[in-house]
Amino acid sequence: MLTFLQQPWPWYIAGPLIGLTVPVLLLVGNKSFGISSSLRHICAACVPAKVPFFDYDWKKEAWNLFFVGGILLGGIIAGTLLANPAGMSVSPKLVTELSQYGINDYHSLVPVQLFNWPALLSVRGLLMMVGGGFLVGFGTRYAGGCTSGHAIMGLSTLQWPSLVATICFMIGGFIMANLILPFILSL
């Protein structure tokens, strides 16, 4: 059983499991799936000022904090106890492309050449981590939710704004991966 949990799961197993969270949440507690709103709940619980955006009864949404905590705990367990002993499997075409930018270490989930403290303090690191984090946060707020909320929950409940948001997320991802990221990596 442990060997089965340590290997990568194919999309036809992992995808339906993720998709089944929507009906389970709706049937069990009439709750919507989404992750980005949990940051608002944390701020509402921790910020004592009467900021209008954070002034609501966050305790009604405490289940969402437990859900996000479970995702964090599950990630820690999967990354430590259930890590694949074979290491990362990366497409040879991607290895060739990234080697042009000096990225050739695939022993962890992210390339060490990009995700380390010295790299974070470089221009490229600031663009990727701080700039990217700001854009993700701004985009999440502007779109009224994150990719998981729109693409998993919104599409399954046939919400038109979620379809538009998901299409825009995909277009943005294609532009980033094919146009902007190569430029940033070449810096």
56-75 per-position pLDDT tens digit: 888 888 888 888 899 899 98
Burial environment of residue 41 by CB neighbours within 10 A (0 to 12, 13 to 18, 19 or more): buried
- Please list, in sequence order, all residues whose beta carbon lies within 8 angstroms of the beta carbon of residue 6, skipping any fewer than 6 positions away: 82, 83, 84, 85
Torsion of CA 38, 180, 87, 89, to 10 degrees: 120
Phi, psi for 183 (deg, rounded to 5): -65, -45
More confident residue, 17 or 110: 17
**According to the model, what pLDDT value does residue 108 have?**
65
d(CA 97, CA 106): 13
Q: Structurally, how many domains does the chain consist of?
A: 1
d(CA 99, CA 118): 19
Does any domain span residue 177?
no
Does any domain span residue 34?
yes
Region 71-90: mean pLDDT is: 81
Please check whether residue 69 is in contact with residue 86, taking contact to mean a CB–CB distance below 8 angstroms. Answer: no
Please check whether residue 88 is in contact with residue 106, taking contact to mean a CB–CB distance below 8 angstroms. Answer: yes
Does any domain span residue 73?
yes
Does any domain span residue 111?
no
Does any domain span residue 107?
no
Band the pLDDT of 109: cuts 50, 70, 90: low
**According to the model, what pLDDT value does residue 147 have?**
83
User: Which residue range forms the structural domain that includes residue 75?
Assistant: 1-86
**According to the model, what pLDDT value does residue 51 have?**
83
Q: Which residue has the tokens 């089965």?
A: 4
**According to the model, what pLDDT value does residue 87 have?**
67
Average pLDDT, the chain: 83
Helix H segments across 47-122?
Answer: 62-80, 92-99, 117-120
Percent residues over pLDDT 70 in the chain: 96
